[in-house]
Structure 1
Amino acid sequence: MQDHVTPRRVVILGGGFAGLFAARALRRSPVAVTVIDRRAHHLFQPLLYQCASGILSEGQIAQPLRAVLRRHHNVSCLLAEATDVDVEARLVHARRPDGGALALPYDDLIVAVGMRQSYFGHDEFAAHAPGMKTLNDALDIRRRLYRAFEMAETAPDAEERQQWLTFALVGGGPTGVELAGQIREIAGHTLEREFQTFDSAQARVLLFEGSDEVLGAFGRPLAHRAARTLQSLGVELHLGTKVTDVDAHGLTVQDRDGATTRFEVRTVLWTAGVEAPPIAAALARATGVTQDRAGRIAVEPDLTIPGHPEIRVTGDVMSLNRLPGLAEVAMQSGAYAGRVVRHAVEGRTKQPKPFKYWDLGSAAYIARGRAVVKAGPLHLSGATGWLAWLFIHLAFLTGFRSRLGAVLSWSVAFATSSRRERAFTQPDADAPAGRAPGPKPPLSPP
């Protein structure tokens, strides 16, 4: 009688790009892989702003994790949030959505939890200025954007109407630039002639950035081109500014001279700054590893934590050689971590080569037919940059259905300026707060 051999257990924290590519690298290995994520879907985060602005639907940028990994017969998915790691017992502690506790043993741990929105110590801003890291964030932003125009239609006076027609974005990175361009397109084209009491094209879009340029990571030439494109669309750039307060009716900013200015704005969107989720701090406490100011975990060249060769940290939450928080970094580091585990299982005793990131470039979509792309020495902008952006995003969308749906939606949006995904929900004002609905009446008399 043969003894049952337990396969090597690999636990992956996170089902984003890094976690997904790690699982794929282990597809044909004799290991048992468990992917833990607090959401049941894999999200194509670079296109979140297109869901928020009504071009793409949720299903076109998010696929169920189980469906994405269904052909990976050695992979199981768990809907839970990792809360702690016992490195001595090699256990991951996690919390289920209903509050129940899980303890998952591992032989190898791959940490791919990503980053979350940071408000730089002012978490109270979140209630009035949502970030954009999750699908819920994108749907909340969509509701706020289109609701603002509806509220402007019934505003009692011109002053309040202008407040509803003014949009502020905090942060001049790719997300802020992309959203700013989308709001101007919505105001100037999508909603053209739909309202009776105002011209939607008169909406103001304000972009606040602490440095001297937008898209600073793209280099000065592309940053200047992006700034010119935004200004040509009507976006008002406020560079060298710091937001000091946000409330339901606007925000206060401070310039480099210390002067403060108040802007009356009903829609503020936060696209500045990220921080590591709590599990990163828990792992740091358990292993003694250092974290940077944003909470990223310092790793060795092979992505392991010093003293813990069984733990690898990948994607946005790893701190290595100042690598940027890009989807491509997450994909490559996740795939690397999975391959190293696979090689170990296959009995390859050679020391793995250090992780090397191949920079395939960065891209930001500004407006229809206009984008900027940086790939090594290649700098593209305008229509050429837009075509390159289109190819890059189609290549990495997960699933044939997503690609086909995106092509159809983009074709409609780019050809007609219309957006098919403009639906948003409002809380039911007729339902008494805190009261559960009463019993339904019977369908027929007793």
Structure 2
Amino acid sequence: MSHRVVVVGAGFGGLFAIKALRRADVEITLINGTAYHLFQPLLYQVATGILSEGEVAPPIREVLRRQENVDVRLGWVRDVDVEAKIVSVAGPGIDYTVPYDTLIVAAGASQSYFGNDEFADHAPGMKSIDDALELRARIFGAFEVADLHTDPETIERWMTFVVVGAGPTGTEMAGQIAELAHRTLRGQYRHIDSRKARILLVDAVGTVLNTFGDQLSAKAEKQLDKLGVEVRTNTKVVAVDSTGIEVETIGGEAAGHRERIPTMTKVWAAGVAAPALAGRLAAATGAKTDRAGRILVEPDTSLPGHPEIFVLGDMMNLAGADGKPLPGVAQVAIQSGRHAAGQIKRRLSGKETGQPFRYFDKGSLATISRFSAVASIGKLHLSGFSAWVVWVAVHLFYLVGFKNRVTAVLHWFVSFLGRGRSERVATQQQAFARQAIRAYGDPFRRAEAERVEAERVEAERAEAKRSAAQRTATGADQATTQAR
């Protein structure tokens, strides 16, 4: 029997680990909560109508169609029995288990609201296709609703957009909403001027793109200002509801000052946390976690005392060359996935394992607007058009599949050279599905419960019919006996 490798998560870490094991004598079971691989760095373009969801989320089975040693399973890992080496999985309406010899856990990260999970109802994050489609419906829908109103305060509330988090995702999102309002939608509404939309970028830290260095941060903030984005750093979000957001100033003479910003559309791009699976896995193995829930791993990315379990990407806490934890970026996931696969192949061939993972930083990129970006690549710091060209090249390289690259280029051509957006369709289902699903419950579980209940009722009816028939038969027999 071949060595059984179970991979949890089809993000960059899991996918690149699987591809690195293509020719290894292993049987791989991939377990993922969706049927697609998500290119998360471009989700903001789905939310703002540039790309379709299919272009950033190719089907896993299509991506791995030529790799015969992979079995793809849909589901969410709920528990890991590290003694029996079995993972328990909750699928759509069905629970099942999968045994393993080696386990690779690369389940990514979830949005963190810093203990205020109720904010999610009013400020969707940017971690899933569902999030992006919901935001698309809210953003384009805001202009449509504003066009219906006559009250100036109501119109202003609908045309105010607040993005929380001034990292790459938040900065890119704010820039694209500004371009959408000031360029794409200009002149398309009879009763409002989309150029009067107010876009705010809010963050508790002191600078935009603080990991890019002071020079690039300043250039990014200057470009955002040109786009009409109001940047508010040193500003903490303290409350969020359906019609507004409340912020508090941190530091300086205005420290402690609170302000309510009326707005119907909020985007949460601040903070990430490890998924709940990280906590369960840590509890099962005795591993430690950090404040964000990430698991502290050994230098080779395995768990302490469990060399057969690797934790990758956003779920792991591993210090880099500078002594700081490695960032939750795609390159960390890709490289750690390949490293884990290399360790498995060495183990199977009888070679020594335990070599530490060495991360090679290929730099950071963020777009501000069309033809403008910032890039930090080693000692090279670029901004403007040159950085934007690098951004395009890098993102095209990592888009999975030739079809995705071609269609992405076509849509970028329409959006960046022209004024159009190829994906402006938004529905009420997308805008309100989050609340509906929570109110209704898990549709698969509910359907299963309804099926079980229907079978119970049918069984009771059948039993009642049998009992009635038996009573009738008994009565007839007694009548016959008495007649005799």
TM bucket, shorter chain:
over 0.9
> How far apart are 1:426 and its partner, in Å?
1.6
CA distances 1:295-349 after superposition (whole Å, capped 9, x unpaired): 00001110011100000110111100110010111111111111211222223x2
Equivalent in the alignment of 1:46: 41
Q: How does 1:135-214 map to 2 (within 5 A)?
A: 135-214=129-208
**Gapped runs of 5+ residues in structure 1?**
1-5, 436-446
State yes or no: 1:346 paired with 2:344: no
Local SS of the residue matching 2:428: coil
Equivalent in the alignment of 1:285: 283
Local SS of the residue matching 1:340: helix
Q: Which of 75, 80, 94 does residue 80 from structure 1 map onto?
A: 75
Equivalent in the alignment of 2:59: 64
Distance 1:334 1:95 in 2: 24
Amino-acid identity (%):
50
Distance 2:430 2:333 in 1: 40
8 Å Cα contact 1:91-1:106 kept in structure 2: yes
Distance 2:389 2:169 in 1: 19
Q: 1:255 to 1:428 in 2, by over 3 A?
A: closer
Equivalent in the alignment of 1:393: 395
Equivalent in the alignment of 2:310: 312
CA distances 1:378-404 after superposition (whole Å, capped 9, x unpaired): 111100110010111011110000001
Distance 2:263 2:35 in 1: 35
Distance 2:419 2:218 in 1: 26
Distance 1:243 1:189 in 2: 29
Distance 1:62 1:395 in 2: 15
TM-score by length of 2: 0.86
Q: Which amino acid aligns with 1:222?
A: L
Q: Which amino acid aligns with 2:213?
A: G
Q: Which amino acid aligns with 2:85?
A: R
State yes or no: 1:382 paired with 2:384: yes
Distance 1:351 1:10 in 2: 17
Equivalent in the alignment of 1:426: 428
Superposition RMSD in Å = 1.5
CA distances 1:387-428 after superposition (whole Å, capped 9, x unpaired): 010111011110000001111111111111210100001249
> How far apart are 1:352 and its partner, in Å?
4.1
Equivalent in the alignment of 1:416: 418
Equivalent in the alignment of 2:475: none
Q: How does 1:15-34 map to 2 (within 5 A)?
A: 15-34=10-29
Equivalent in the alignment of 1:258: 256
**Gapped runs of 5+ residues in structure 2?**
320-324, 441-484
> How far apart are 1:293 and its partner, in Å?
0.4
Equivalent in the alignment of 1:367: 369
8 Å Cα contact 2:137-2:430 kept in structure 1: no
Distance 1:248 1:156 in 2: 20
| 334-343 vs 261-270, greater mean Cα deviation | 334-343
Equivalent in the alignment of 2:328: 325
> How far apart are 1:102 and its partner, in Å?
1.3
Q: 1:351 to 1:341 in 2, by over 3 A?
A: closer
State yes or no: 1:127 paired with 2:118: no
TM-score by length of 1: 0.94
8 Å Cα contact 2:343-2:353 kept in structure 1: no
8 Å Cα contact 2:89-2:97 kept in structure 1: yes
Larger Rg: 2
Q: 1:60 to 1:227 in 2, by over 3 A?
A: same
- Name the one with the larger helix percent: 2
Distance 1:109 1:119 in 2: 29
Distance 2:196 2:413 in 1: 26
Q: Which amino acid aligns with 1:342?
A: K
Q: 1:73 to 1:280 in 2, by over 3 A?
A: same
